[in-house]
Structure 1
Amino acid sequence: MANVSQDKIFEALATVDDPEIGRPITELGMVDEVTVEGGSVAVRILLTIAGCPMKTALTEATRAAVAAVDGVDAVEVTCGVMTDEQRRQLRSQLKGGGEELPNPFNDPNSRTRVYAVASGKGGVGKSSVTVNLAAALAARGLSVGIVDADIYGHSVPHMLGSDDRPTPVDDMIMPPQAHGVKMISIAHFTEGNAPVVWRGPMLHRAISQFLTDVFWGDVDVLLLDLPPGTGDIAISVAQLLPQAELLIVTTPQAAAAEVAERAGSITQQTRQKIAGVIENMAAMVMPDGSVVDVFGSGGGQIVADRLSVITGTQVNLLGSIPLDPQVRIGGDDGTPIAIGQPDSPAGKAFGAIAEKLARRQDSLAGMPLGVTPRR
């Protein structure tokens, strides 16, 4: 059997992406050494930290890629750890070498669609909506991230079934992932169920760091799970992400709709756009096919109609999510109903809304066209 070419091995390794960063390990300087002896190949890869949670996945992907090369009959993959200098170089490569990390979502060339999921009051299922939409969008092949901006009432990691911690690379943070969704939450930095006792400036700084210090990569959609109301964090998000579009969550109840209207009205001051209204906990579908309006009906359309008048633009009701105990069970178990039971009434409703959000209408406004008028 002819010796295996080392170039062929590197070509194979170039097809292996780091699970957290989403780029080839050869491009990231993670391939430390490759030794080829006949049909036996030994590869040493460098992890960002010793306890890297992606070690097993990265090792198996590397082994599989090398084993697929013609002539290879034995593969050994070992792992080392990057030095401080190598981590600094990686951070500089990914985020740039400046002292102040930029907010990548404010880059004019960013193609990330940013949605801030808001509500006027608590208890309307805003976090459930956020998590299920994220999972549904990821299941459709989009790269999705969630910022758990509800600092006091954080719940996103639990609802996605993740207890993984972020991976630090120098002063950059690699977010954990679950169900194909990247996430960051203050829960990743607290012990147990400890409360967060912060005031305005600390809250603003936390949201800012979630956007700048975390390596999100080229995400197609970023969802922010906002706390209820129009307080400090809603204002900070408007300042840090002026292009973010609001998704207003309400229930069919008239009282909830009235409060949700206030959450949407904040756009009169922040100049943000409202992407639409989502009615949660709508009519419950009973086993016999009948429906029960536990929380009344029509609240979502009322909010959409009122916000259309207030803003002077058309605000649509994107969909109604039926009340279903499985939504709660999926959140408790860490498997959102949008992917756990996509054919259920609630699963279909989340999927339909995700389809609407996934369709991006690109605009050329403010974009350089690369042409010069003739004189």
Structure 2
Amino acid sequence: MTVTREAVIEKLSTIKGPDFKDDIVSLGMVSEIFIADGKVFFSITVPAERAEELEPLREAAERAVKSIPGVTNALVALTAERQGGMGEAPRSRPQPAPRPAPQSSRPAGPAAGTIPPKAEIHGVRWIIAVASGKGGVGKSTTAVNLAIALRALGQKVGILDADIYGPSMQKLLGVKEKPVTTDGRTMQPIEAWGVKAMSMGFLVEEDTPMVWRGPMVMSALRQMLRDVEWAPLDVLVVDMPPGTGDAQLTMAQQVPLAGAVIVSTPQDLALIDARKGINMFRKVEVPILGVVENMSYFIAPDTGKRYDIFGHGGAKAEAERIGVPFLGGVPLTMDVREKSDAGTPVVAVDPDGAQARVYREIAEKVLAQLKAQAGAGGGPRIVFE
């Protein structure tokens, strides 16, 4: 059954807006709608300060569209941008510019309030974090494809899924086997697509809830870092948990990170959270290797027409504004999503494709910075304020 734009609009007209009087279509909150192969893509414009409060609105719209006969899936995002959609979008409250992180001086020896860098992970040259200020921006997909792209550049690479509560590496890499130990303590990482990998998802069943408190989480992460036979590696990619809470900050403080890659989508709401991630790493003096704009634009598979469903260029403009490198914009494509769901990363199975080229260019920029940093000598010094 063919899904029409009119059918989607009719269904969305049943969803009440934040005022509980008018619907989200008549309020002009719905962006341009794109439909392909039974999949529906659109965003809902809301005031930035009410994003968390209005998440149920997004979920209701997504459920409503999925109930339409012929719809196989729906991708709905909240955005605070003004978009050329079906009506005049409500204005979002201007967001104050974040304070620039203070430039710290680095004395030759330890000073008051500082500690030396944490102990290195045996046999690992560089550890980089792939992080985001919020979930749902494609951070894990980016981490996997970045790791495989670094391997394609001749590096020995590992990837650690540090998201204890919501591990996804087993799905993205198509891993079904369990790790084994060599001496009853040291675990052997699983090798997939030429990359060594470790995740809590390898150790527990997929539907097992991880109801752990902070100390238990950090203990598990320390084990997966230091009780796994990673060596020899050039780069260990750490897929960080989303957000900027205690677990993320503790990881940034305890792991000798060579740098961080921040993943964001183009819309204002995601960028607000990306700034939080950048500022968190700056507070502990971890270099920002750059920003990746994921879901940067959508290319229709049937017509080749480009759609900026979630806006475009916001992450690049933000990177330029705060003075960090922009690593590249990854398009939203059916190919990346389908291959990720199938456990066949696009960089591994379609290395000459357009998406793989983007990830490879990002990997080249990251590797160049790591080598330049090594040539300059010295690593970051962690500061507690």
SS in 2 for 1:112: strand
SS in 2 for 1:191: coil
1:122 and 2:131 are equivalent in the alignment: no
Contact 2:290 2:327 in 1 (8 A): yes
SS in 1 for 2:233: coil
1:348 and 2:360 are equivalent in the alignment: no
Contact 1:124 1:250 in 2 (8 A): yes
The 3 A distance-change label for structure 1 pair 198 and 338 is same
CA-atom RMSD in angstroms: 2.1
Once structures 1 and 2 are overlaid, which stretch shifts more, 213-222 or 259-268? 259-268
Pick from 126, 131, 136 the counterpart of residue 149 of structure 2.
136
Measure, in 2, the Cα distance between the counterparts of 1:214 and 1:109. Answer: 10
1:193 and 2:202 are equivalent in the alignment: no
> 2:160 is matched by which residue type in structure 1?
V
> 1:269 is matched by which residue type in structure 2?
K
Q: 1:114-169: per-residue Cα shift (whole Å, max 9, x none)?
A: 11111111110000000111112223331111110011110012101111211111
1:363 and 2:375 are equivalent in the alignment: yes
Pick from 295, 298, 302 the counterpart of residue 313 of structure 2.
298
Which protein has greater RCO, CA pairs closer than 8 Å, 6+ apart? 2
> 1:348 is matched by which residue type in structure 2?
R
Measure, in 1, the Cα distance between the counterparts of 2:159 and 2:135. Answer: 19
Q: 1:198-257: per-residue Cα shift (whole Å, max 9, x none)?
A: 111111111111111001011111111111111122112112214341110001112211
Q: Which residue of 2 aligns with 1:276?
A: 290
The 3 A distance-change label for structure 1 pair 122 and 166 is same
Q: Which residue of 2 aligns with 1:90?
A: none
1:261 and 2:260 are equivalent in the alignment: no
Measure, in 1, the Cα distance between the counterparts of 2:205 and 2:228. Answer: 20
The 3 A distance-change label for structure 1 pair 157 and 212 is same
Once structures 1 and 2 are overlaid, which stretch shifts more, 267-276 or 109-118? 109-118
SS in 1 for 2:375: coil
Q: Which residue of 2 aligns with 1:76?
A: none
Unaligned runs of 5+ in 2: 1-116, 380-385
Measure, in 2, the Cα distance between the counterparts of 1:154 and 1:105. Answer: 25
Q: Which residue of 2 aligns with 1:245?
A: 259
> 2:211 is matched by which residue type in structure 1?
V
Contact 2:123 2:231 in 1 (8 A): no
SS in 2 for 1:169: coil
1:162 and 2:171 are equivalent in the alignment: no
Contact 2:300 2:307 in 1 (8 A): yes
CA drift at 1:265: 0.8
Measure, in 2, the Cα distance between the counterparts of 1:255 and 1:151. Answer: 25
Contact 1:159 1:335 in 2 (8 A): yes
State the TM-score, normalized to the length of structure 2. Answer: 0.63
CA drift at 1:305: 2.7
Q: Which residue of 1 aligns with 2:119?
A: 106
State the identity %.
Answer: 42
The 3 A distance-change label for structure 1 pair 329 and 365 is same
1:227 and 2:241 are equivalent in the alignment: yes
Unaligned runs of 5+ in 1: 1-103, 309-314, 368-375
Measure, in 1, the Cα distance between the counterparts of 2:341 and 2:189. Answer: 21
1:178 and 2:187 are equivalent in the alignment: no
> 2:143 is matched by which residue type in structure 1?
T
Alignment of 1:328-339 (within 5 A): 328-339=337-348
SS in 1 for 2:311: coil
SS in 2 for 1:329: helix
SS in 2 for 1:220: strand
Contact 1:149 1:233 in 2 (8 A): no
CA drift at 1:193: 1.7
Measure, in 1, the Cα distance between the counterparts of 2:284 and 2:169. Answer: 26
Measure, in 2, the Cα distance between the counterparts of 1:172 and 1:233. Answer: 23
Alignment of 1:64-75 (within 5 A): none
The 3 A distance-change label for structure 1 pair 364 and 355 is closer
Pick from 303, 318, 326 the counterpart of residue 327 of structure 2.
318
Q: Which residue of 1 aligns with 2:92?
A: none
Contact 2:260 2:286 in 1 (8 A): yes
CA drift at 1:366: 5.0
Contact 2:120 2:256 in 1 (8 A): no
State the TM-score, normalized to the length of structure 1. Answer: 0.65
